[in-house]
Amino acid sequence: MTIYDLINGISSGEFDEQLKELYGTSDRNIMKNKARYISAAENFSRLYPEDEEIRVFSVGGAFGIGGMFTSQYGGKTLGAALDADIIAIAALNNTHEIHYASEGIENFIIDLKNLSECDDEDSVPAVKDFISNLIEKNIKCDGFDIYVSSDKTSVSSISSSETAEILFDGVISSLFAPDEADASGLSGITSNPNLNHAVSALGGFVLAEKSEYKKLSFDFTGSGYSICTVSSGNVCEMYSDRISGLSDIMNSVAAKMDADTLADINKQDFFEMIPELRQKCSNHELLYAACYYEESDSLDEAVEALGYGDTETFFDSLNRMWESSAVFFKDCTASDCYDILLAAVMCRSILGGSGAVGINKGTVFAFVPDFLVGLLTSKISGSFKDLLCRTYNFRYKGLCELKKHLT
């Protein structure tokens, strides 16, 4: 495919069906993303005018639905893909250099024969680290040109660095190592893949358990629901600080029961031991431990419900699971924390029992019926001037390449 083929195909509607798989059926959303692709194509052509054959890739963003407590022990976690994607246009350049460009970065050069002397180590550190990892694994890679465009509306709780890694993984695998992909859809290039990597690579809902990833068959894109987020950078930062010490607290409680981890203790045994444990542990330590067991049960129920396509039970499970997140705000005096909590309560009131609302990584996530999206975003944005309210579509498709139809 050439740049002309891409621009002409986007403009004529040739790629519309592929775009609908990535961004939903909303005319407004499709037009917005058509403009992104055309802008990326024009920038690529301006920077790399000699490139003829191009490849076009897209990978969606990822967010965690459940597993804040269970993830501390390598237990089950659940994530989903959204249409907040990163797109890339790439072409071989017959050199030993990778020429990287994006919004704000004109042409960052990575010399594959001399990585230690990149001209600006801070420009794209994630890219340089990724290429270093690729070379350490002896995966063949040569020079190519690439222009990257990110969805500017994503929030911090939606993965970006992992999504970018999967994008480069896909570009390099497609160009140089098409046989490197394993059964999970992740190639051997990405180092130490986590849930966000798997969600971006596979799309849809992905269940992680003990470093194994499974895409669930239920396609939420036709469910009539969107994801609305309400976020504050300060609260997300506070969340990261608190979650870092969570495993130590939970292990401390387990040690009082002569176990290494809470996973070694039966849920019923834990609750029967609470009178004794209250003499050894603080109430907030026991609360975190209790949340571990409640989240584990709710997560199992949510996954089972998705297997049957039972959205009502799925939402009930999410509401119970996400209630545990509030414990992270119980002793927070910052006004932003109360803003997030109040925003979550308002979302539940607006939904009136439909969908699901919770807090994950300091961000409110709401599964909102499409007919209520406008009302919810209007009320939340009007009530909280310092919070960011965004709406996303679910994405069932993982890392993919736009293909020109053969005639």
pLDDT in tens, 140-191: 788 999 999 988 665 555 667 788 888 888 898 888 877 665 545 566 556 6
Strands 144-150 and 225-231: unpaired
> Hey, what are 300's tokens?
């199992």
Which residue, chain included where needed, has tokens 């058509």?
34
Pick the CATH number of 225-392 from 3.40.50.300, 3.40.250.10, 3.90.550.10, 3.30.70.890: 3.30.70.890
Question: Of the candidates 364, 390, 393, which has an alpha carbon nearest to the alpha carbon of residue 377?
Answer: 390
Question: In DSSP terms, which residues pair with 109 in a beta bridge?
Answer: 99
Domain ranges of the chain: 3-219+396-402, 225-392
C-alpha distances in Å from residue 405, one per residue of 9, 42, 231, 254, 399: 9, 21, 40, 58, 19
Residues, the chain: 407
**Does the pLDDT of residue 346 top 70, yes or no?**
yes
pLDDT tens for each residue of 20-71: 999 988 899 999 999 999 999 999 999 999 999 999 999 999 988 877 667 7
In the predicted model, is pLDDT for residue 209 greater than 70?
yes
pTM: 0.87
Distance CA 310, CA 170 (A): 33
Q: Average model confidence (pLDDT) for the chain?
A: 84
Q: Which two tokens stand for residue 214?
A: 């499974």
**What whole-number distance in Å separates Cα of residue 213 and Cα of residue 217?**
13
Torsion of CA 278, 279, 282, 286, to 10 degrees: -30
Q: 3-class SS at 265?
A: coil
List strands edge to edge, sheet with 225-231.
Answer: 356-360, 363-369, 225-231, 388-392
Contact by Cβ (8 Å): 203, 63: no
Beta bridge partners of 55: 90
pLDDT computed for residue 239 by the predictor: 61
Single-letter code of the amino acid located at 311: T
Q: Which of 232-246, 281-295, 311-325 has the lowest mean pLDDT?
A: 232-246
- CATH numeric code, 3-219+396-402: 3.30.230.10
